[in-house]
């Protein structure tokens, strides 16, 4: 998916928000913004928004010296998700459709996205869980449920820290020996890395690896060969989050995109409304 004009203000807000996490010094905020805007003025708009987000993270590191401005927030929302997990697990166990409920909650976890939701807090997460339990899922959730049974090699492309704890609800129902769980290859926004899989215990449940590159999406020509080997052998790919939707092909029938639509550009591309729970498949 290319970058649209409406993506630009969001990317600038993202840069300023990340700079403010590092320091209260407004002169540094301005330096980050100026360098970001300079880079964006030369940006190829045919590139996806996650590619530009990668450049923003590089700019913040260059200006501030901080390679991971979201580190404390990632830990905070990992902790919140683990605190909520017993209740979420109980909801799944008591449901007449446990796998569908687990998928709904896994999508709800996609709200933990500081690239798209700058004012995120506990209240918003709780409200999103409630919304997920009471509203329809747009897309092909029944086909996804059926695919979990027939797939031999499942590639699960994770998105954000905290959110990955919600993904665990699905893993505890399906055959998790078939899953390879993939995170980002380095710190970028609040996306999950291998450190988060260890901290949350995901690494003890399923095989984990990273893409080999710190981009908040999956840009195949940037990824490691080891990741590409797993990608090519998978017969079912679950791609969490808007970043994966923005970077991967929508014509690959193996891929099910699971996300909460948080911006008008992505919502329009997926044929849904902002706020919808989405399972998008060709």
In tens, the pLDDT along 164-185 reads 999 999 999 999 999 999 999 9
Domain count, the chain: 2
State which residues form the domain around 75.
71-280
Q: Which DSSP helix (H) or strand (E) runs through 260?
A: strand 255-260
3-state secondary structure of 277: strand
Cα–Cα distance, 61 to 54 (Å, whole number): 11
Question: 231 in a domain, yes or no?
Answer: yes
Read off the pLDDT of each residue in 206-221 and give the average, rounded to a whole number. Answer: 97
Does the structure show a pLDDT above 90 at 100?
Answer: yes
Q: Which of 20, 37, 64 is the last residue before a domain boundary?
A: 64
Q: Which of 48, 64, 80 is the last residue before a domain boundary?
A: 64
Cα–Cα distance, 281 to 56 (Å, whole number): 30
Which of 105-119, 206-220, 266-280 has the lowest average pLDDT?
A: 105-119
Does the structure show a pLDDT above 80 at 118?
Answer: no
β-sheet bridge partners, residue 156: 181, 238
Q: Which DSSP helix (H) or strand (E) runs through 156?
A: strand 154-157
Q: Are residues 178 and 244 in the same domain?
A: yes
| pTM of the predicted model over 0.75 | yes
Read off the pLDDT of each residue in 60-87 and give the average, rounded to a whole number. Answer: 95
Read off the pLDDT of each residue in 180-198 and give the average, rounded to a whole number. Answer: 97
**Cβ-based neighbours of 113, under 8 Å, separated by 6 or more:** 120, 159, 160, 163, 189, 190, 241, 242, 262
Question: 156: closest CA among 249, 230, 260, 100?
Answer: 230
Does the structure show a pLDDT above 90 at 2?
Answer: no
């Amino acid at each position: 998916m290319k970058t649209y004009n409406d993506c630009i203000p969001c990317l600038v807000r993202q840069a300023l928000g990340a700079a403010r996490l590092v320091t209260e010094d407004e002169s540094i905020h301005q330096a980050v913004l100026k360098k970001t805007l300079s880079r964006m003025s030369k940006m190829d708009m045919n590139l996806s928004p996650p590619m530009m987000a990668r450049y923003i993270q590089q700019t913040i590191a260059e200006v501030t010296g901080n390679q991971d401005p979201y580190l404390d927030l990632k830990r905070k929302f990992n902790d919140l998700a683990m605190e909520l997990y017993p209740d979420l697990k109980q909801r799944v166990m008591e449901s007449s459709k446990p796998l569908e409920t687990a998928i709904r909650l896994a999508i709800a976890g996609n709200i933990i996205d500081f690239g798209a939701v700058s004012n995120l807090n506990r209240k918003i997460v709780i409200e999103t869980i409630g919304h997920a339990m009471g509203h329809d899922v747009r897309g092909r959730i029944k086909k996804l449920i059926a695919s979990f049974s027939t797939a031999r090699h499942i590639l699960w492309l994770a998105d954000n820290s905290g959110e990955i704890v919600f993904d665990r609800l699905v893993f505890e129902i399906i055959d998790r020996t078939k899953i390879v769980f993939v995170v980002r290859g380095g710190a970028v926004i609040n996306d999950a890395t291998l450190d988060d899989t260890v901290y949350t215990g995901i690494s003890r449940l399923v095989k984990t690896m990273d893409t080999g590159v710190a981009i908040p999406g999956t840009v195949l020509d940037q990824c490691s060969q080891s990741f590409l080997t797993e990608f090519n052998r998978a017969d079912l790919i679950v791609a969490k989050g808007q970043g994966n939707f923005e970077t991967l092909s929508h014509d690959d029938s193996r891929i099910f995109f699971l996300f909460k639509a948080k911006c008008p550009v992505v919502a329009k591309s997926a044929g849904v409304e902002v706020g919808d729970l989405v399972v998008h498949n060709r």
